[in-house]
Amino acid sequence: MEHFLINSSVCLFSLWLVYKLLLENTSWHQFKRFYFLAAIIISAIVPFVVVRTVVVPLNYGPAPDFTTVELNPDTVVDTGFTLDWSWILWGAYLMGVLIMGYRFMRNLYDLRIKTADEVTTYATYKLILRELVQVPHSFFSSIYASKKDYHAGDIPDAVLQHEKAHLDQRHSVDILFIELLIVLFWFNPLLYLVKYSMKLNHEFLADQAVLSSGVPTKAYQETLLAYSSSSQHQALANTFNFPIIKKRFTIMKTHTTTASGLLRSLALIPVLALLIISCGQEEIVTEPELIEIVEEPEVNLVDKKNKIFIIAGQESGIALIDRAKFIFKRENDRIVIYDNDGTVQNFQERGYEIVEVDEISEEIEEVEIVEVLPNITVEDITEYNRLAKKHAAMIEQKGHSIYFKDETTHMQTIWNTMNEEQRANAEPWPYLGIDGNKAGEIAPPLPPTPPAPKVLSIEKNKNQRSNSSNKEQSLSQSLSTSIYSVSNGDINTLYASNINQGQDSTFATKEMMQEYKKLMQQSYRGDSRIWKNSDLERMRNIYVKMSPKQKNTVEKLPMLPSIDLSEVQPIKPNDQQFESWKNSKNYAVWIDGKVITDLKAGKYQLSDITHYHVSKVYKNAQSQKYPQPFQVNLYTKKGFENAFRNKTEIR
């Protein structure tokens, strides 16, 4: 409501000012009449016109790191008396409407035909002759004049022609329209200015009509001066002796050319544009950030001479090439590589070289061999969850890592087969964090000192070493026979060829990362940061699931200061406060954390309340469910103990 009143008033004043500066002294009286009506209507419409502002985000680099957030709790001072100004303002408004409405109806009542009136006709209109009328005036289809002056022949015909011009042009409709607006918006002084200018323009129109009928200008001006001494004035009627005689004399002699009138009218276009932009309803639309994707030139893989290492003698298996899984098989002394759809992939034409080796060097990251299931099912994921819980429970019970051989290997195979979403919804990897292990890596317990095992190694772009005695042993066999007998010092080397090196310990999915960034971005309020408790809790749950690599790509989780609730002392309300809170239009009430729709029901009495807190809710924070401008939190004795005595701090 405030937006409408302020912006409509600004529009109306601006359009009235344009009239005073550019149009009032012109002879385009008919245009000015409709200009006033249009100005009132435009002023009422412009505040509802939606002006869309498109905001293009600019990337100025990473946002500042807010590790702490300063809380500014509301401070409510109990004065013992609450004054609701809204009721006072509404009362004053209604009182003004009643007074102006009474004035309006009284003026209409005075214009009725009375018993003592003598009714005759002038042209096609009623001529009502009265004893107390000093100055002729008109309203709708009636002309009012002095009975004594009319019978004595003291009323010139030019005066009656003037009033007839008012009736011919229906000026009473304009006056009635503006008077009704004044009844409703009596507090707006601009309406009184518009009414005055509108009635003056009516006089210009009537004067113009009389002079165009052949009445001499000088004689008409003398008649106008003769009636100028009378002070009688009707609010709803058009009066012959309307003030500013000099202004009317000047306008009678004015003639505005078409070119001048058009130029003055064209000045309204930029004025209207500025009013719509400044007084319209602003809607801010943020365009999505445009990310320019630049395609890099294709790399000549032949020159790069990438190598695909295959364990000598292994008939089939899975290899990771450019971080994608492919299946290789030996067919007719030739190694054939398939994708997941069974399509043959000719990597040799793309510059890759297939190399058979006995051992794989530790530094090669392009090659990865892991065991996976052909197709993962719900039963497989259920089995993984069972095994993960079993491993986690045993690790917690023993205090160190454990290994069940077949079960542990099967659990790892299922994990390697699952996608990121399935991993995020499944049980956490039980070995995560033990001895620096990532998700999918196994940390077996310390075994008895074994004989020196054969340790597989990986070497990048170095000469491959050949061992003919182990040529018949596959990589998977080496893993199954050596995994329990190696020492802690060598276990990471062994797993280098068995574990997905591209796999980070990510339990936060892509959707979770996007949600975290969105919640962080939405917290900006100018120079302040604001979070809902539910948003902070959700951000905390996502943040603890992130890997260190993921945490480096987002803002740190804000650390909120601690609040010692044990220091809160109970504040008991008085009778007047408790009664005022029963007004559900102004107060939304919670008792012990539960919303109370009607405090008047009598379920709770003042004696039940031990502590209270009142907060003001600003317009931009009010919701459709809770539109009240104040929120009241009440606590019973039990609720106060639970909220403030059984907790030491809030984070």
Higher pLDDT, 243 or 154: 154
Q: Does 203 share its domain with 334?
A: no
Rounded to 5 degrees, what angle do the CA atoms 318, 323, 329 make? 20
Higher pLDDT, 600 or 371: 600
pLDDT bracket for residue 295 (50, 70, 90):
low
Q: Does 262 share its domain with 279?
A: yes
| Residue-number span of the structural domain to which 535 is assigned | 510-552
Helices (H), 19-84: 29-45
Higher pLDDT, 399 or 463: 399
From the list 458, 417, 457, the residue with the least C-alpha distance to 440 is 417
Helices (H), 169-244: 171-184, 189-212, 217-227
Residue 186 in any domain: the answer is: yes
Residue 32 in any domain: the answer is: yes
Residue 436 in any domain: the answer is: no
Query: Could you tell me the sign of the dihedral formed by the alpha carbons of 99, 102, 107, 110, in that order?
Result: negative
pLDDT bracket for residue 378 (50, 70, 90):
confident
pLDDT of residue 461: 37
Q: Lowest mean pLDDT: which of 8-22, 105-119, 370-384?
A: 370-384
- The number of domains in the chain is 6
Which percentage of the chain shows pLDDT scores above 70?
71
Token reading at 554: 């987002």
Residue 103 in any domain: the answer is: no
Q: Does 41 share its domain with 175?
A: yes
Rounded to 5 degrees, what angle do the CA atoms 344, 349, 353 make? 95
Most confident of the following: 226-230, 303-307, 458-462: 226-230
CB 174, CB 41: distance < 8 Å: no
| Position 35 pLDDT exceeds 90 | yes
Q: Does 521 share its domain with 598?
A: no
Pairing of β 528-529 and β 324-331:
unpaired
Residue whose token pair is 């939606």: 50
Residue whose token pair is 């002759």: 129
Q: Does 279 share its domain with 386?
A: no
Q: Does 47 share its domain with 178?
A: yes
SS3 string, 342-394, reads: CCEECCCCCCCEEEEECCCEECCCCCCCCCCCCCCCHHHHHHHHHHHHHHHHH
User: What does the pLDDT average to over 169-191?
Assistant: 93
User: What does the pLDDT average to over 220-224?
Assistant: 87
Burial state string for 533-570 with b = 16 or more CB within 10 A and e = fewer than 16? eebbebbeebbebbeeebeeebbebbeeeeeeeeeeee
| Position 530 pLDDT exceeds 50 | yes
Token reading at 373: 């299931």
pLDDT of residue 238: 60
User: What does the pLDDT average to over 203-213?
Assistant: 92
- 410-444 tens-digit pLDDT: 888 888 888 888 888 888 888 876 666 677 777 54
Q: Does 222 share its domain with 352?
A: no
Residue 438 in any domain: the answer is: no
Q: Does 176 share its domain with 265?
A: yes
- DSSP class of 444: P
Higher pLDDT, 542 or 233: 542
| Position 354 pLDDT exceeds 50 | yes
Residue 639 in any domain: the answer is: yes
pTM for the predicted model, two decimal places: 0.43
Q: Does 4 share its domain with 27?
A: yes
Question: What's phi and psi for 577, nearest 5 deg?
Answer: -65, -45
Higher pLDDT, 65 or 353: 353
Residue 280 in any domain: the answer is: yes
From the list 70, 66, 69, the residue with the least C-alpha distance to 556 is 66
pLDDT of residue 489: 38
pLDDT of residue 270: 92
Q: Lowest mean pLDDT: which of 143-147, 231-235, 468-472?
A: 468-472
Reported as half-sphere exposure (CB side, CA atoms, 13 A), residue 464 has a value of 22
Displacement of CA 175 from its chain's centroid (Å) = 44
Q: Does 186 share its domain with 262?
A: yes
Q: Which amino acid is at 631?
A: Q
CB 530, CB 523: distance < 8 Å: yes
Residue whose token pair is 């639970």: 642
Q: Does 222 share its domain with 316?
A: no
pLDDT bracket for residue 367 (50, 70, 90):
very low
Query: Rounded CA gap, 561 and 68, in Å?
Result: 7
- 500-517 tens-digit pLDDT: 333 334 457 888 888 888
Q: Does 156 share its domain with 179?
A: no
User: What does the pLDDT average to over 527-533?
Assistant: 68
CB 376, CB 422: distance < 8 Å: yes
Q: Lowest mean pLDDT: which of 101-105, 165-169, 635-639?
A: 635-639
Residue 146 in any domain: the answer is: yes
